Amino acid sequence: MSERRSRRKQILMAAGAAAGLLMACGVFFLEKGPARVAPGTVIRGVELGGMTAEEAADALKEGLYGQQEYSPDTVQTSWEVRDGQLIFTMGRAGVRVEEQRLAEELREAVRTGEYENLDLCLVQTGTVEPVDLDAVASSVCRETQDASLDPEHDYEVTESVTGVDFDRELAGELLSAAEEGSVVAVDLICTEPEITTQELKERLFADRLAEYTTRVTSNENYITNVRLAAERCNGTILLPGEVFSFNDTVGEQNAETGFKKASATRGTEVIQAYGGGICQVSSTLFAAALYAGLEIPERWCHTYVCTYMDPGMDAAVAWDVLDFQIANGKEYPVKLEVRYADRYLTVTILGTKTKETPIEIVTETEESPADLLRISTYRRIYSSNGEHVFIEKVGDSEYLDPWRKVD
């Protein structure tokens, strides 16, 4: 009896244990939910642990969009000038996260436990355009420019300009190799002007380059013409590279322009003509310009030797036929001061000496028939220590009847 009870008790206990096991299994299956990302999982700086694949996809999308390199907006390359360089900040193409695909990738990662090579499912939404270096150069680059004078505004001093440029070929290579979002620096090439604004203001017309005087000995009409021509030439400013034209400056000579009739040469004839005597002004200018080291694009000699100038040193002019010209080949502007007073005509040329270069003018008589006088005019230029630098021929002259002199 007791043995039978014991056996029954064992059977009931076994049955109870089995029922408890089945109940426990039933609770497990009822409480099991969707698969979740492993705790502590961080992808691209976004904490995803414990989230479902859909939740993780949404969180990862928002987290990526908050990071500059994953912005949905395309940013084009920008540039600025800073500390002597062109600084390019490379653009980034915008990207969009495909959420459904990302959720699928996350479900697979949850199943396998592999997160390292997760596909972020990004789709590019824009394109970064190549940098237009010509446009950049147009905005940044400028030619070097010396300070000068503005003839349109009463010869005010203009500002000098520092030249700016950059190596476009090198810049193109650096930009082509740069990654999105990176910074590329290209050195600017700066060229300082030879004449700054301050230098020009301090040295403008500071030196007397040359001065030459001739005596006016003829009659009052002749003197009137000399005075008028001198007044019209006086104060002329020649910028570097500019050319002075005597005819353009003095203008046509006639009664309406105030000139008188006086001795003048026409061909081999000595006649009375309006403006007679103005050649003394052009000749005195010629001599001064030679000693100032200026260039002479055009010069003619007279038919006869002049009373006021040695052979080879005169400069004949005739309205619309013969002109006398001076070119300023120097770095700085020059100014012509032409004044008549008390029967003396004086030309002073003001400018800026960049170095001492003494000048000597030499005339040589060439072999010629008895009724002609041929003269060659030379300019000898020396260095500051007196050494001969070079010699140039500045004029050929041929005069009729060498013993005859004409005003």
What is the tally of structural domains in the chain? 1
The token duo for 98 is 């495909």
User: Is residue 322 a part of any domain in this protein?
Assistant: yes
Structural domain for 298, as ranges = 205-406
User: Is residue 121 a part of any domain in this protein?
Assistant: no
Per-residue pLDDT, 386: 78
User: Is residue 211 a part of any domain in this protein?
Assistant: yes
Buried b / exposed e over 177-214, threshold 16 CB at 10 Å, is: ebeeeeebebebeeeebebbbebbeeebbeeebbebeb
User: Is residue 19 a part of any domain in this protein?
Assistant: no
User: 118 with 156: CB under 8 angstroms?
Assistant: no
User: Is residue 130 a part of any domain in this protein?
Assistant: no
Q: pTM, whole model, 2 decimals?
A: 0.72
Q: For 37-79, how does the pLDDT look when each residue is reduced to its tens digit (9 = 90+)?
A: 989 899 988 999 899 989 988 998 898 888 878 888 899 999 9
Whether 82 has a pLDDT exceeding 50, the answer reads yes
Would you call 319 exposed, middle or buried from its count of C-beta atoms within 10 A (0-12, 13-18, 19+)? middle
Q: Classify the phi-psi angles of 44: left when phi > 0, otherwise alpha if psi is within -120 to 50, otherwise beta.
A: left
User: Is residue 274 a part of any domain in this protein?
Assistant: yes
User: 148 with 53: CB under 8 angstroms?
Assistant: no
CA distance 30 to 36: 17
User: Is residue 377 a part of any domain in this protein?
Assistant: yes
The token duo for 178 is 């740069």
User: Is residue 101 a part of any domain in this protein?
Assistant: no
Quote the percentage of the chain above a pLDDT of 70: 92
Bridge-based pairing state of the strands 207-215 and 183-187: unpaired
Q: For 13-29, how does the pLDDT look when each residue is reduced to its tens digit (9 = 90+)?
A: 544 444 443 344 343 33
